[in-house]
Amino acid sequence: MSDDVYTARLEGPSPAAQVAKDLVRRGIWAAPILMLIGTAIWGTDGFFSTGYGIGLILFNFALSAFLIASTSRISLSLMMAAVLFGFLIRLGIIFIAVYAVKDAGWMNLVALGATIIVTHLGLLFWELRYVSASLAYPGLKPGTSKSADQTNQSFLNKEHSQP
């Protein structure tokens, strides 16, 4: 069993990448609404700060999924390492991104902070609706379940590659 954990790898389209794609698509769809709300509450600064916050969150989701998808094809242990160090790296990137613009004239930190929390949790709960609704692959429309089935069947580990 321990050998499997260290050497097993996954193949096929990554479900994490597909979920992240859904999250980003919904985020882009919801961005104008959130930016209008930000403008109504904080004015022009709120508009730009909200947009910046949404961009950060979507980038964070995309980077997280990219790390999982790319490393799981190499090995599960590498995926675990990438997720853990990716957590640190992504927090660092968010910190640098916020620190770089904190004094900008168009930045409202309260709006940015509220956007980060609301967008992150909102998109996740939105996605979770699809997870709960579909016992197969969350966030995926029925039409795309073919690729998910393919994913499921094509996961290999060294059982398949070993003679």
Any residues with CB less than 8 A from the CB of 88 and at least 6 apart, and which?
A: none
The single residue listed with the structure tokens 């620190």 is 99
Stretch that binds another protein, among 12-20, 25-33, 38-46 (CB under 8 A): 12-20
The residue among 10 and 31 lying less far from another protein, judged by its C-beta, is 10
Q: How far apart are CA 44 and CA 61, in angstroms?
A: 26
> Is-contact 53 111, C-beta < 8 A?
yes
Listing DSSP states for 64-83 in one string gives: HHHHHHHHHTT-HHHHHHHH
CB of 33 to another protein, least distance (A): 21
By CB under 8 A, is residue 8 in contact with another protein?
yes
**C-beta atoms surrounding 123 within 10 Å:** 20
Selected from 24, 76, 93, 97, the binder of another protein by CB under 8 A is 76
CA atoms within 13 A on the CB side of 115: 34
Build a one-symbol-per-residue string for 13-52: x at contacts with another protein by CB under 8 A, - elsewhere: -xxx--xx--------------------------------
By CB under 8 A, is residue 110 in contact with another protein?
yes
Q: How far apart are CA 88 and CA 90, in angstroms?
A: 6
Which residues contribute to the site for another protein (CB under 8 A)?
1, 4-5, 8, 10, 14-16, 19-20, 60-61, 64-65, 68, 72, 76-77, 79-80, 83-84, 87, 90-91, 94-95, 98, 102, 109-110, 112-114, 116-117, 120-121, 124, 127-128, 131, 136-139, 148, 151-153, 155-157, 159
